Amino acid sequence: MKKIKYPALDEKIIKPNQMLFRFDCGDMWGRKKLSRWDDIRDCIKIIIPELKKKQKNSKGKKLKKFSWIMNYTIPLATDIEDLKRNKKYIVKNHNIHTLQPIEFTRKSKYLNVFEDLLMMDKEILILLASQLDGLKTIEFWLGMLELGFLEEVPDQDGYIQDVIKQKEWRSSLMYIYAPNLYYAPNFKELKKDDDSIEDDVYALMYLRDAIDPKIKFHCDHLDKKEQKILKKHSII
């Protein structure tokens, strides 16, 4: 039996006003050196050519719906005992999890985007922003696994790294500033200089320049200082 290379494109819908890409990303226990970021990049390699093709042949027809779905199965700690004994376990609804790095519907007018994409591939966001019907706001958020039992686990990354033994799995959180530390003259203590902005701010500045200024950017989990920095750089 031929081994499946994950992520595997499970379903693709390409219509004049709709695009859907659904990927089967396999079982986390059975994957070798699973990386969330590598999986997202591999999906992007399939999606971007379709977006470019549509941009070239759309004749002005915009998308009312765009969905990118990545499905994983994940064993409970109790399932792992079966895996160790029998190399398999019974997959139930609570084992099935979904990542949705990008989602848009004409009704919501929001393009929901995982923060991972800021430092991975900005081209997909630029392509989409110009092709979505009625887009008003790009919402950046920390994308977590949904639908399965991990929705109830506060530290999803910790479970995947420690229980599933996938040490390379990490979510990405937007960083806006970092303390700039330097040694005092006596070299015995660290003092804090002015805060310096992080690379994510430059990524947002790049996107802000490339995307229609009428489309707002929103990052709802940021504190007042982070929002002030983004306002200073005309991002929000």
Closest among 72, 14, 74, 2 to 39, alpha carbons compared: 72
Provide the whole-model pTM.
0.88
* Rounded average pLDDT over 178-190: 51
- Residue 1 pLDDT: 56
* Rounded average pLDDT over 149-162: 96
Closest among 68, 67, 79, 66 to 28, alpha carbons compared: 79
Query: Which residue would you say has higher pLDDT here, 59 or 192?
Result: 59
pLDDT band at 60 (very low <50, low <70, confident <90, very high): confident
What percentage of residues in the chain have a pLDDT greater than 90? 72
Q: Which residues contact 25 (CB under 8 A, 6 or more apart)?
A: 6, 7, 8, 31, 39, 70, 71, 72, 99
Residues 71/24, Cβ–Cβ less than 8 Å: yes
Ordered alpha helix ranges (H), the chain: 36-57, 77-86, 123-129, 156-162, 199-210, 224-232
Q: Which residues contact 8 (CB under 8 A, 6 or more apart)?
A: 23, 24, 25, 26
pLDDT by residue (tens digit) across 79-109? 999 998 988 999 999 999 999 999 999 999 9
The β-bridge partners of 72 are 97
* Rounded average pLDDT over 19-39: 96
Which is it for strands 137-141 and 181-183: parallel, antiparallel or unpaired? Answer: unpaired
93/80 Cα distance (integer angstroms): 16
